[in-house]
Structures are given as C-alpha cells and as structure tokens.
Amino acid sequence: QEDTPIARFLRYLQFNTAHPNPNYADPISFLISQANAIGLQARTLEFTLSKPLLLLTWPGSNPSLPSVLFNSHLDSVPAEPSKWIYPPFSATLAPDGKIYARGAQDDKCIAMQYLEAIRNLKANGFTPLRTVHISYVPDEEIGGFDGSAKFTGSKEFEDLNVGFVLDEGQASTGDEFRVFYADRTPWELKIKATGDPGHGSRLYDNGAMENLMKSVEVITKFRESQFDIVKSGEAMNSEVISVNPVYLKAGIPSPTGFVMNMQPSEGEAGFDLRLPPTADPDLIKKRIAEEWAPARRNMTYEVIEKGPIRDYLDRPLMTLTNDSNPWWPVFKQAIEAAGGKLSRPEILASTTDARFMRQRGIPTFGFSPMTNTPILLHDHNEFLKDTVYLRGIEVYESVISSLSSFKGESY
C-alpha cells in the first residue's frame, strides 16, 4: 500500500469508531506507529477502563514555557449505511476527489492533519520553542465525561502546563476559515405525561397524549420564536437557544404495530437543547417547569445537563478574541501567513471538548480548516475533498509553528 498523506488519512478513516461500540484500540495503535515514524513521544492514558486516550508530545526547546495542545476525538457518531452512497467506514476516494467516510469532517481530518503538519515541519528542520502536545480522546460524541472531562481534571493534564488549546471546529461553505470562541452547552430534556386511559373514540380532558401534544406545541412555539430571531438576521443560529425534538415514545404495541382504539396512559418526548453562553439557565428551567412540563397537567420532566456552563471563576465559557488574549493575534496571523482569512469569530452551534479546557480558564479555539465545504457532520454521506484536506495540512504547518514559537513568558 502506498504511503502518502491521503493514503494515511484513508487508513485512519477506516477504523470503525462509531458509538455505541467504538474501536479505540486499533486507531490508537495506528496513531502510535505514525508518531514513532515521525519521532514524537507517545503515551496512553486510561482514566476509564477500555476508554484509552493517546497523548503525543514534541518537546520544545524551552519546556518551562506553557505548552500548546491540539485536541481531537477518536470516536464518531453512528451512520446508517443504507443511506450512504459508499459504506461509511470504507473511506472511499471518489473520482472527483471527495473522500466519503463517517468522521471525514468530524473530526478525523484534524487528527491526521496535526501529524502531517508536524511531519513536514520536522522535515524542514523546524524546532518548537514551546512543547507541542496532541491529544486523541475517547467519548466526545457522548459528552466526553469519561474522556476529556477526566483528562483535563487529571494530574497528568496539570503537568502538561497547557497555555493554549486548539480543538475541532466546523466546515466553512465559503472561502474564509471559521474560528469558534465558545460552544453551546447541551441539555437533554425528557418530558413525560400520564393520564387516564380510555376508549380511542372518546374526547376527554387530561389524557396523556393530549397533555404531551400540548407541550410539544408550546415547545414548538418557543423554537419558532428563537428561529425567527435567526431568520430576521438579529442573531446567528448558534447565538439562540435551540430545542429540537429527537424522539416521541407512546402507544400500546400490538403484533401489527400499535393498538389503535385505546388512548395510552403515558407518553414521553425527548429534546436536544443547546444553550449559548449568554443564556440564563435558570430562566429556561423555570420555563420548562411552568410551561413545557407543568405538574398541573400531570407532567414530569428530567433535564440532564451535559457539561459545565461557567468556568472555575464563574465566568461564561468563552475565549476572548481581542488583543487582551495574546494568543488571538498569533493565531490570526498564522492563518494569514498561510494565505487564509478568518471570518468573524463565532459561537459553535454544537458542542465539543473545548468546554472542559475553557472551564479551567485555558484559552481554546475551535478550528477545522475546511473551506468551500458543505457542513456534513453527523449527516449521511459525510465527505471531505482531498484538496481541502491537503490545504489544511499547510494551514496547520503555519499554525503549529507560530503558536509553538510564541514567546510571551506568562501565557
């Protein structure tokens, strides 16, 4: 098999790292062999049994300066193979240069681009001033609690003395690269309704389905109000609160489907909520209790907060993008030095492990160098063009060399 950047990317994409049973062992072995070939130190940490984390290190010439960390996650969301034009873990390079694979954008591209950039920098004789670390973490797609959360809370992490982190971002449909200074915080909301069962023909008050449908209506109205703000141009998608129904569970099963002439005594609906760092979580909780799942309509609910909402100093989880953050101009200029341009910094609509680094007060940007690319993370037929992938390696050469050369003593 040939050994080119694209061939190596395809090999990494072929590991089936989809939940609920991601293969972590094989991609880690592959990454270790890559690290050995390039001359990077490798160490595996296991904060949770069978959920290993790989840490690669390129020592700087001044190891007393805070280090820079490049993070990516090993795992992927599942794919529905029947809806794909190529099998999602075949990593097929189509004739037009599109590489189809689950994880091509999210986020196996950056995982390999970091390594390819370092390979090239080393070949050109570059030595970093600051130590460069790369982390490959498990379980990001299910919240990162056994991955990044434990890692960033560990003694091992503290010892890395990390001053700045780059984590994954999202594709850009235009010519400019996108950079993200915050994530939205995910909440899982499950609402349940109970009520008297009855004949399917009867109209009566307070049935479980009636109450559940009323809640869905109220939530849909709220969703519309937020979406209207986006549609009017007052805010970006990621700056409002999103609430999307993800499941509905009700009905009395029968061998042919569901019993049709009985009204069920319980029903349940699940929602994915995302809160921007500016949202007031208490207000949303009040809204849920009073309007979305009111006890007076026999409703109960459960909110699972999937991660922190404020940092250790009780500030919103955001990284500044002005000159008061000394890393900002360094990063921006590195993109420009590579011939790229950054669009206005954004909040990421989804959620990444960056929140755990920001929680510790470490400046962290989300960045995945993909321009002129449709946003296909978690979608069918996720792909990345070979040319876009290769261009990203050049961008990281600039970014890694600039960040690791930054002299600022106290950052």
Mask for 112-151, x = binds Zn ion (CB under 5 A): ----------------------------------------
Query: Considering only CA atoms, which of 339, 335, 355 is closest in space to residue 396?
Result: 335
Task: Find the residue with minimal CB distance to ligand MET.
Answer: 350
Element (H, E) at 215: helix 208-231
Considering the rule CB under 5 A, would residue 107 count as an interface residue with Zn ion?
A: yes
Question: By three-state DSSP, how is residue 356 classified?
Answer: helix
Asked if 61 and 407 touch (Cβ cutoff 8 Å), the reply is: no
Mask for 84-113, x = binds ligand MET (CB under 6 A): ------------------------------
Which one of the spans 39-47, 162-170, 275-283, 308-316 is the region binding Zn ion (CB under 5 A)?
162-170
Considering the rule CB under 6 A, would residue 306 count as an interface residue with ligand MET?
A: yes
Nearer to ligand MET, 152 or 352 (CB): 352
Backbone angles phi, psi at 290, to 5 degrees: -95, -30
Considering the rule CB under 5 A, would residue 106 count as an interface residue with Zn ion?
A: yes
Considering the rule CB under 6 A, would residue 268 count as an interface residue with ligand MET?
A: no
68 Cβ contact list (under 8 Å, min separation 6): 130, 131, 132, 133, 162, 163, 164, 165, 166, 400, 403, 404, 406
For CA atoms 76, 80, 81, 83, give the dihedral sign.
Answer: negative
Considering the rule CB under 6 A, would residue 71 count as an interface residue with ligand MET?
A: no
Q: How far is the CB of 385 from ligand MET (least distance, A)?
A: 23
Q: Has 141 been labeled as part of a binding site?
A: yes
Q: Which of 107, 116, 139, 140 is catalytic?
A: 140
DSSP code of residue 152: H
Q: Using CB under 6 A, which of 59, 143, 153, 326 touches ligand MET? A: 143
Which one of the spans 108-116, 318-326, 348-356, 403-411 is the region binding ligand MET (CB under 6 A)?
348-356
Active site residue 140: yes
Asked if 148 and 353 touch (Cβ cutoff 8 Å), the reply is: yes
Considering the rule CB under 5 A, would residue 268 count as an interface residue with Zn ion?
A: no
Asked if 355 and 307 touch (Cβ cutoff 8 Å), the reply is: yes
Q: How far is the CB of 238 from Zn ion (least distance, A)?
A: 15
Name which of Zn ion, ligand MET, none residue 107 binds, using a CB cut-off of 5 to 8 Å depending on partner kind.
Answer: Zn ion
For CA atoms 140, 368, 390, 325, give the dihedral sign.
Answer: negative
Considering the rule CB under 6 A, would residue 287 count as an interface residue with ligand MET?
A: no
The amino acid occupying position 119 is: R
Asked if 3 and 61 touch (Cβ cutoff 8 Å), the reply is: no
Return residues touching Zn ion (CB under 5 A): 106-107, 168
Return residues touching ligand MET (CB under 6 A): 140-141, 143, 186, 306, 350-352
Would you please indicate which residues are annotated as catalytic (active-site) residues? 75, 140
